[in-house]
Amino acid sequence: MREILLSIQRNAVGLVLFAIVTAGAIAVAQVFTADRIEANIRAAEARALNEILPASRYDNDLLNDTLAVDERFNQQLLGPLHENARIFRARKDGKITAVILPVVAPEGYTANIDLIVGVNRDGSIAGVRVVAHKETPGLGDKIEARKSDWITKFVGKSLSNPEQDLWAVKKDGGEFDQFTGATITPRAVVIAVKRALMFFDMHKATLLDSPQEVSFLDHHLGAADGH
Ligand SMILES: Cc1cc2nc3c(=O)[nH]c(=O)nc-3n(C[C@H](O)[C@H](O)[C@H](O)COP(=O)(O)O)c2cc1C
């Protein structure tokens, strides 16, 4: 009897240890996967920034001249952003020539669609790119620049061109094409891009005139250097 009890006890301890180790391994894997996803989004964002704004359009360190999307702004207009989402500012001779806004379209067919929208100082669009999405290959993925030129049609548009009512897909009475058999994805993107323009319009002064922010890292490295 005592033998059996001991054996049960040993098995139980073994099982608990196995559960702890497995749970730990899953937790570690999740952290690394989340980090990798975040890093992939950042890399896609950097590539997309280059596509939207050719190097000739700015002479500052674009990736480090950013604004946090904080309480100063109407964050709802930009959708459910990632925690580290930032606004990039392009300058020439110190003057801001364009801003790049992160925007999330929550009404995609499958999941959120992460976009960046470049807006010139005059409120016209410099370019739009999708940085992450899970839309269906062959249907919704024509929003990617490498799959079709649909996303390039936003260049030069603004809140007054076309007029606000026409900021919709053709099926909804607007100006922008939908795809054959797939209206939900392009509709979500058009609405998100329009929201980005509304955000720019609402916060123009802060976006274009507030001073460059010192990043957390720079600030602390600077402090360590005695600056
Ligand atoms: C398996 C499957 C995947 C789909 N994926 C998408 C998609 O990624 N994007 C999209 O807009 N519609 C997608 N659709 C189609 C939508 O359900 C919907 O019918 C369509 O967007 C409406 O467009 P329509 O009004 O032009 O028919 C998919 C449908 C199916 C059955």
Instruction: Give the position of tokens 């001073």.
Output: 211
Q: How far away, in angstroms, is 108 Cα from ligand 1 center? A: 10
Least confidently predicted of 28-42, 105-119, 148-162, 201-215: 28-42
Whether the CB of 169 sits within 6 Å of ligand 1: no
77: nearest Cα among 69, 68, 86:
69
pLDDT for 74-92, tens place per residue?
A: 999 999 998 889 999 999 9
Dihedral angle computed from the Cα positions of residues 204, 132, 105 and 207, in that order, rounded to the nearest 10 degrees: -10
* Confidence (pLDDT) at 216: 52
Q: How far away, in angstroms, is 144 Cα from ligand 1 center? A: 16
Amino acid at 57: R
| CA of 184, closest atom in ligand 1 | 11
Residue 217 pLDDT grade (very low, low, confident, very high; cuts 50, 70, 90): low
- The distance of Cα 198 from the centroid of its chain, to the nearest Å, equals 17
Mean pLDDT of 141-161: 97
Cβ contacts of residue 151 below 8 Å, gap of 6+? 128, 129, 130, 143, 144, 145, 189
Please tell me the distance from the alpha carbon of residue 166 to that of residue 142, in angstroms, as a whole number: 21
Tokens describing residue 82: 């990632």
* Confidence (pLDDT) at 6: 82
Least confidently predicted of 59-63, 127-131, 151-155, 178-182: 59-63
Tell me the whole-structure pTM to 2 decimals: 0.81
Check residues 160 and 47 and name the one with the higher pLDDT.
160
Whether the CB of 135 sits within 6 Å of ligand 1: yes
Q: How far away, in angstroms, is 140 Cα from ligand 1 center? A: 7
Q: Provide the mean pLDDT of the chain.
A: 90
* Confidence (pLDDT) at 62: 87
Can you say whether the dihedral through the CA atoms of 116, 121, 125, 127 is positive or negative?
negative
172-181 contacts, C-beta under 8 A, 24 or more apart: 177/150, 177/153, 179/139, 179/140, 179/142, 179/150, 181/139
| CA of 179, closest atom in ligand 1 | 26
Whether the CB of 117 sits within 6 Å of ligand 1: no
Please tell me the distance from the alpha carbon of residue 67 to that of residue 159, in angstroms, as a whole number: 23
* Confidence (pLDDT) at 221: 55
**Mutate which of 184, 185, 190 for ligand 1 pocket (most atoms within 8 A of beta carbon):** 184
* Confidence (pLDDT) at 225: 45
Instruction: Give the position of tokens 């026409």.
Output: 166
Mean pLDDT of 101-112: 97
**Mutate which of 110, 134, 139 for ligand 1 pocket (most atoms within 8 A of beta carbon):** 139
| CA of 186, closest atom in ligand 1 | 11
Looking at the chain, the whole-number percentage of residues with pLDDT higher than 70 is 94
68: nearest Cα among 48, 50, 88:
88
Q: How far away, in angstroms, is 153 Cα from ligand 1 center? A: 21
| CA of 188, closest atom in ligand 1 | 11
pLDDT for 129-146, tens place per residue?
A: 999 999 999 999 999 999
DSSP string, the chain: -HHHHHHHHHHHHHHHHHHHHHHHHHHHHHHHHHHHHHHHHHHHHHHHHHHHS-GGG--S-GGGSEEE--TTS-GGGG-S--TT-EEEEEEETTEEEEEEEEEEETT-SSS-EEEEEEEETTS-EEEEEEEE--PPTTTGGGGSTTT-SGGGGGTT-BTTBS-GGG-SBGGGTSSB--BTTB-HHHHHHHHHHHHHHHHHHHTHHHHHHSPPPPPHHHHHHHHHHT-
Check residues 168 and 56 and name the one with the higher pLDDT.
168
* Confidence (pLDDT) at 224: 45
| CA of 187, closest atom in ligand 1 | 11
